Amino acid sequence: MTVRMRPVLAELPAYVPGRNVPGSIKLASNETSYGPLPHVVDRITAAAADVNRYPDTNSSELIAALAAKFGVGAERLVVGCGSVSLCQQLVQATAGQGDEVIFGWRSFEAYPIITAIAGAQAVQVPLRDQVHDLPAMAQAITDRTRLIFLCNPNNPTGTAVPGVQLTEFLDQAPSDVLVVLDEAYREFVTDEKVQDGTGLLERYPNIIVLRTFSKAYGLAGLRVGYGIAADPAVATAVRQTQVPFAVTHVAQAAALASLEPEATRQLADRVAEVVAERGRVTAGLRAAGYQLPDSEANFVWLADGPAEHGGIDAMAFAAGCEARGLIVRAFAGSGVRITIGTAAENDKLLAAAAELRAEQPAG
C-alpha cells in the first residue's frame, strides 16, 4: 500500500530550469553574466561567518532600506525567497478551490504550477503579437477571479505593455481582485512609455509590485525578492503565508549592500552594458533573417514559425546552439529565449544563429 498524495500532483507541470552543460555557455536562465559587486561580495563573506544563528525572519533592516528607497511605509513591504516565492504566497493568500487566477500565456512558467498547487484554476489568455492582450485579459475576469499576474516585461518574450494600456486595464479590474505587477526585469527597461509599477501604488489600492535582486543585481544564487503593496493588508497576508526564516542572513546582507549609493552607481553602468548588448544582439539576429520583438528585459525571444517569416523551430534551434556550445531555453511549439551574455558570449551566439539560419530550410 503506497502513501496517498494529492491527485493534482499527477498532472502538475514541472518547472524546467535552464540547464548547465559543462564547457558550454549558458544563456538559458536570464542570469546576469556579472557576479555581485565587489563590496557586496565582502558583505556576503562577512555574513557567512554568522550562519549559526537564525536570520531575522522579518528582514527588518532590508525592509527599512527598501521603504526609504521607495518612500513608502514599511508596513507595505514584504521580502521573500526570490520574487517567485512571493508569487506563490500571493496565490495562497487569495485563491483556493474553485477560484481563478488569470495570466497571459506564454508567460512565467511558475504561474500555472503555483496556481495548481493552491487548488485554483488557471485562466491562460494568449498573447497577441508576443505581448499581453490586456483587453482579452479584462474580458476573462469573472466573479471567481481572485488574482491576476501581469509579468511586465514579460518572461519569456521580453515585451512590455505601454503605460496607457496598463492603466486602462487596471481601471477595468475589480477592486477586490489583486493584480500582481511582476517586474523582475524592471531595471532593464528603457522605453519611457513603459510604466514603473511603483508609480501606480497610490492610484490603485488592489496592486502589488514585485521586484528581485536575482537579475540586475546578480544575486540569483541567494534568492531574495520583495514586494510593495498598495494596501498594507496585502503585505500582511503575504507575511502570514511565508515559511519562517525563508530569507537567509547572507541574502539579506547582500541585498542591503546592493542598495547602497555606491552599488546604485555601479549597477547603472552594468545595466547600460546589458542594454547595449541587447540592442546589438537584436540587430544582429534581425540582420541574419530572424524576426523578433523589441525586448525590455535582459533576454531576447525568437518565436516558432515559418522560416520565410523569420521564425524558427524552437527545439531544432536549441539543439543547434547546444551543438555549438551554447545553451538557450527552448519552449516547444512556442519559441526560444536567449539571455544576453557578455560581448564575447553574444558574438558566439550571433555566429551560431547565422549558421543555423543558413541551414534552415525555407517553406
Quick: pLDDT tens for 127-174. Answer: 999 999 999 999 999 999 999 999 999 999 999 999 999 999 999 999
Answer yes or no: pTM beyond 0.85.
Answer: yes
5 belongs to a structural domain: no
- Residue 70 has a CB neighbour count (10 Å cut-off) of 16
CA triple 175-178-179, angle to 5 deg: 105
CA separation for the pair 19, 8 (Å, rounded): 26
CB atoms within 10 A of CB 221: 11
Identify the domain boundary among 260, 290, 318.
Answer: 260
Range of the domain at 322: 15-30+263-357
Check whether residue 216 and residue 145 sit in a common domain.
yes
Q: Would you say residue 35 lies in a domain?
A: no
pLDDT of 129 reads: 95
CATH of the domain at 289: 3.90.1150.10
Say what the pLDDT of residue 1 is: 64
Per-residue pLDDT of the chain (363 residues; tens, 9 = 90+): 689 888 888 888 888 888 889 999 999 999 998 889 889 999 999 999 999 999 999 999 999 999 999 999 999 999 999 999 999 999 999 999 999 999 999 999 999 999 999 999 999 999 999 999 999 999 999 999 999 999 999 999 999 999 999 999 999 999 999 999 999 999 999 999 999 999 999 999 999 999 999 999 999 999 999 999 999 999 999 999 999 999 999 999 999 999 998 888 899 999 999 999 999 999 999 999 999 999 999 999 999 999 998 999 999 999 999 999 999 999 999 999 999 999 999 999 999 999 999 987 655
240 and 146 in one domain? yes
User: In this predicted structure, what is the pLDDT of residue 37?
Assistant: 87
Residue 287 sits in the same domain as residue 253: no
The DSSP string of 202-260 is: TT-TTEEEEEESSSTTS-TTT--EEEEESSHHHHHHHHHTSPTT-S-HHHHHHHHHHTS
pLDDT of residue 361: 66
Tell me the CA distances in angstroms from 64 to 3, 72, 141, one per residue in order. 45, 10, 36
- If one counts the domains in the chain, the total is 2
161 and 270 co-located in one domain: no
How many CB atoms within 10 Å of residue 71? Answer: 7
| Same domain (yes/no): 98, 172 | yes
Cα distance between residue 30 and residue 328, in whole Å: 10
Q: Residue 247 is part of a domain; what is its CATH number? A: 3.40.640.10
Do 301 and 229 share a structural domain? no
**Do residue 80 and residue 211 come from a single domain?**
yes
- Both 131 and 245 in one domain: the answer is yes
Cβ proximity of 294 and 154 under 8 Å: no
Same-domain pairing of 86 and 235: yes
The pLDDT of residue 362 is 57
49 and 152 co-located in one domain:
yes
